[in-house]
Copies of this chain bind each other. A is one copy, B any other.
Amino acid sequence: MAQITIKDVAGRAGVSPATVSRVLNHGPTVAEELRERVLAAVRELGYRPSSQARFLRTRATTLLGLIISDITNPFFTSMVRGAEDAASKAGYSVMLANTDEDLEKEQRYIEVAAAENMAGVILSPASATRTSISLLAERGIPVVTVDRRLQTAKVDRVGVNNVKAAQDAVLRLVDQGCRRIGFIAGPTEVTTAVDRLAGYRHGLRAAGLAYRRELVVRGDYRIEGGRAAAADLLRLKPRPDALFVSNNLMALGAATALREYGLRYPEDITLAVFDDMRWALGLSDAMTLISQPTYEMGRLAVELLLRRVSGEGFPPRHVVLSAVLV
């Protein structure tokens, strides 16, 4: 019940608190016999140093914050695994927070990260322009953004080449004979949505097709939004011969809309999707998927972050991985 402190251990081992600390941290200058006595006392009492008290002196924590915009999204959850594995290998723990794309929640968790003096933060910002990390910057807490960028802040970043991947997907669809490609875009606040839309337009241009405004509908990167957007596109006359959905959750919604309209893919309409959702959508072979190295993104983000944490100084680094067509 009551906290076991370093003094209790010291008392039991018959040494001073200083010696206990020396044994537990940077041990060499302690006689073997005392060392054993201390370790025995630690074991017997089940002593665990209070991380708060330790922080007060050392200013060092082993906690990383991972603030992501939607934990329902398998894209992020796979990234979380990559981050966790890399962090625990280096002796750090990862605390997750979910913002639901809500700026207020996001700010609250940034405050928590600052108040807890986390060693570093990985962030997929809900907005490129309105997300503020100044609280962290003030405290010298390093930040790495994943997936999405921040407009202003000069921070490290790990992402994929969204423009090129989207463009390639469009060209693939054109190769398959599609000419009227509907595009379900994401929220304007989010850089990946902007990039993917740009890629879509580049792809059309490269294929010599005209960009038609009515073929682009904006969604919210969520299931319901994808469903509504797909329904809008499917109502067009003539109907698009392909749908390019710019994120995985919206693809689930779009699949539902297709079912509601009695359309089957790939027979009635061709589908291209950002992110690998084979497990949910089925019939993957017939579909253009843009697969992102999500696990790898999490891993690299942590590695980059930990270099900053350990004090390395280098200009903001942008790691751009390749999203590949499958």
* Interface-lining segment among A80-88, A122-130, A154-162: A80-88
Q: In the complex the two chains form, what is the Cα distance from A139 to B50 in whole Å?
A: 11
Please give me the residue from chain B that is nearest to A112 by CB atom.
B93
Q: Known contacts A72-B77, A93-B108, A97-B96: does B1 contact A117 (CB below 8 Å)?
A: no
* Interface-lining segment among A15-23, A166-174, A187-195, A279-287: A279-287
A51 touches B279 (CB 8 A): no
* Contacting residue for A95 out of B52, B84, B97, B283, CB 8 A: B97
* Interface-lining segment among A142-150, A206-214, A250-258, A300-308: A250-258
Q: In the complex the two chains form, what is the Cα distance from A303 to B48 in whole Å?
A: 29
Q: In the complex the two chains form, what is the Cα distance from A280 to B259 in whole Å?
A: 12
* Contacting residue for A80 out of B51, B71, B78, B111, CB 8 A: B71
A63 touches B117 (CB 8 A): no
Task: Please name all residues of chain B whose beta carbon is closer than 8 Å to the beta carbon of A109 when the two chains form the complex.
Answer: 93
* Contacting residue for A84 out of B3, B48, B98, CB 8 A: B98
Closest 3 CB pairs of A and B: A96-B96, A52-B52, A95-B95
Chain A residues at the B interface, C-beta cutoff of 8 Å: 1, 3, 46, 48-53, 55-56, 63, 71-72, 74, 77-78, 80-81, 84, 88, 93-98, 100, 105, 108-109, 111-112, 114-117, 135, 138-140, 223, 252-253, 255-256, 259, 279-280, 282-283
